[in-house]
Amino acid sequence: MSQQKIVIIGGVATGPKAAARARRLDADAEITIIERGKLLSYGGCGMPYYIEGKVKEISELMATPAGVTRDIVFFDKVKNVKVLNETLALSINREAKTVEVVRVDSDEKQTIPYDKLVLATGGLPLIPPIEGIKTGHVFRLNHPDDAVAAREAITSGGVKRATIIGGGLIGMEVTEALAANGIAVSIVEMFPRLLPTILDFEMSHFLAKHVQAKGVQLYMEEKVIRLEENQGKVCKVVTNKREIDTDMVLLAVGVRPNTNLAKVAGLAIGSTGGIIVNEYLQTSDPDIYAGGDCVENLNLVSGQKVFVPMGSTANKHGRVIGDNVAGRSSTFPGITGTAVCKVFDYNVGRTGLGEEQARQLGYDVVTALVPSSDCAHYYPDNKLLLVKIIADRKTGKLLGGQVVGAGDGVKRIDVLATVLRFGGQVSDVGTLDLGYAPPYASAIDILAHATNTIENKINGLAKAVTPMEVKAKLERNEDFILLDVRGPNEYAAIRIENSHVKLIPLGQLRFRLAELPRDKEIIAFCKISLRGYEAYRILVGAGFENVSFMDGGIVAWPYETVSGNVK
């Protein structure tokens, strides 16, 4: 094959993947990676687990599955790829097809020619304009060096309290890491919920209850004004509402695409701030490719361009780019916006559109909120999982899904992401031939329960209201009955205590219909609203007209409940 020159700027995810793939396809190409830092091809997503101590050595994040460190020697001897680390790319001359670089330790400059250029410059951490942000023991998590510094601070024994600014993915993962080290954690988030770009309100509240039960203090809708120090280290976080004593601060407010080099070179930048690429991951210059956290992607559900930085996407980009710079013709179709994380004992995930996004795009949104076991309810290891499905009422098209709970939610997200990838309907989910055995799933999987609920709503067989709608009715003191159809013991253990609530166990409902007025709205519910739906159908069959059930039951109720014996 040709002895073309392939130059790659960026040595973390997309860049090394593109280099390795291109080398497998083109044995003769001259491949060069330019990396500003010293370290190469590291698993940045593993840094919270290094801080926690589950990953013992930071070098494990830079090793192959066989335990070989991916360093300069590895790329030279195994991949036959030249690496210029600790080297900064200064500028791109597109006409001459050269890149000017400089060694960060010696200021020595060099001009490197290319036939194909790959931009894998990644993302830059957002640094909020907070007074005192450069104080000691204030960390971000963008590079293994950051993780090492944070871990050293923790193991020194001087950190008893930590404050995380930002309740997104990184913030939540680091919360568990810090708590596992016996540190009291506070989270300050300017939005009204955790994981605000991932979870809808009720799902986020379900997660928040779990996080708070683990001793984490949550300060929602608060903005950090300044950080105060004592003897060179942070000692206090001052928000617009309070002061929080702390020994350590971690900034986790997100990243932005690193496009400075691309902008100066005159490459097209999208409305998201990322580099515009086509399906072949070519930029506006056909000889320059780009991938990873510096580009924007097509959301396959919304049809819009989005900036969603993910290590998994970056690696997929690298393979496609490696194909194309080596003469093949591979494409990257886009993403469905899938994200998952572990937060203490809960698995959290989302794919596709959230409810608010779907409404903004003009869909006639219908949702289902279903709590259930992740496997057969009688199997000893069954765990609770809350699932939310979002769909279009007019077409039945699946739009998105979210999961939160101790059960196996990630495999459900993967199923939904696959259906979304191929533009499927909610009815497709219910008829999928998924694996079934009591240790792994119920005979009708929780996803099928959720999508069957959606279909019932679309077909007029079910009418439901959300917990938020019920809460609003209670606050407005509307004239309606909130019908609890659980048993007396369940009611005594946990309940919504309000004058609108009336307890009639489901087994007695058919014989006590006379106790319910036919001129009032009735909303039935139970633990997970399985019996609530049954009660709804009983009432409809008995001629009641203004009836519905509450999605998710009391398990999904994100507001205050009362426990203990009834007075």
- d(CA 26, CA 20) in angstroms, rounded, equals 10
Least confident of 103-107, 361-365, 412-416: 103-107
- d(CA 80, CA 239) in angstroms, rounded, equals 52
- d(CA 549, CA 552) in angstroms, rounded, equals 9
Q: Write the pLDDT tens digit of every residue in 190-238.
A: 999 999 999 999 999 999 999 999 999 999 999 999 999 999 999 999 9
Q: Average of pLDDT values for 521-545?
A: 96
- Domain 464-563 is of which CATH architecture? 3-Layer(aba) Sandwich (3.40)
Place of tokens 């991916």: 70
Question: What residues does each domain of the chain span?
Answer: 5-122+256-325, 138-253, 345-458, 464-563
Is residue 367's pLDDT more than 90? yes
Specify the pLDDT at position 158: 86
With bands split at pLDDT 50, 70 and 90, how would you rate the model's confidence at 417?
very high
Place of tokens 């139970």: 526
Determine what percent of the chain is predicted with pLDDT higher than 90.
Answer: 90
Is residue 27's pLDDT more than 50? yes
- d(CA 458, CA 561) in angstroms, rounded, equals 31
Q: Is 20 helix (H, G, I), strand (E, B) or coil?
A: helix
Place of tokens 């000893």: 380
CATH number for the domain running over 345-458 = 3.30.390.30
What is the total residue count of the chain? Answer: 567
The full DSSP string for 455-493 is HHHHTTS--EE-HHHHHHHHHTT-SEEEEE-S-HHHHHH
Is residue 566's pLDDT more than 80? no
- d(CA 314, CA 17) in angstroms, rounded, equals 9
- Which residues, in sequence order, are CB contacts of 274 under 8 Å at separation 6+? 257, 259, 294, 295, 296, 297, 305, 307
- d(CA 150, CA 484) in angstroms, rounded, equals 49
**Multiple choice CATH, 138-253, 3.40.50.1980, 1.10.10.10, 3.30.70.380, 3.50.50.60:** 3.50.50.60
Give the predicted TM-score (pTM) of the model.
0.93
Cα 543 to the center of its chain, rounded Å? 44
Number of H helices and E strands in the chain, helices first, is 16, 32
Specify the pLDDT at position 8: 98
Q: Is 212 helix (H, G, I), strand (E, B) or coil?
A: helix
Q: Is 7 helix (H, G, I), strand (E, B) or coil?
A: strand
- d(CA 114, CA 288) in angstroms, rounded, equals 10
- Which residues, in sequence order, are CB contacts of 23 under 8 Å at separation 6+? 29, 31, 79, 80, 81
Q: Write the pLDDT tens digit of every residue in 286-316.
A: 999 999 999 999 999 999 999 999 999 999 9
Specify the pLDDT at position 157: 85
Specify the pLDDT at position 537: 96
- d(CA 150, CA 517) in angstroms, rounded, equals 62
Q: Average of pLDDT values for 137-166?
A: 92
Is residue 403's pLDDT more than 50? yes
Specify the pLDDT at position 1: 45
Structure-block tokens of residue 451: 């999508």
- d(CA 242, CA 223) in angstroms, rounded, equals 10
Is residue 343's pLDDT more than 90? yes
- Which residues, in sequence order, are CB contacts of 417 under 8 Å at separation 6+? 336, 338, 351, 352
With bands split at pLDDT 50, 70 and 90, how would you rate the model's confidence at 480?
very high
Specify the pLDDT at position 567: 58
Query: CATH topology of 5-122+256-325 equal to that of 138-253?
Result: yes
Q: Which CATH superfamily is domain 5-122+256-325 in?
A: FAD/NAD(P)-binding domain (3.50.50.60)
Q: Which residues are catalytic?
A: 45
Determine what percent of the chain is predicted with pLDDT higher than 70.
Answer: 99
The full DSSP string for 283-299 is -SSTTEEE-STTB-EEB
Specify the pLDDT at position 406: 96
- d(CA 400, CA 480) in angstroms, rounded, equals 32
User: What is the longest distance spanned by two Cα atoms in the chain?
Assistant: 89
Q: Average of pLDDT values for 541-554?
A: 96
Q: Average of pLDDT values for 337-365?
A: 97
- d(CA 346, CA 523) in angstroms, rounded, equals 30
* Continuous H helices in 282-333: 311-325
Cα 338 to the center of its chain, rounded Å? 7
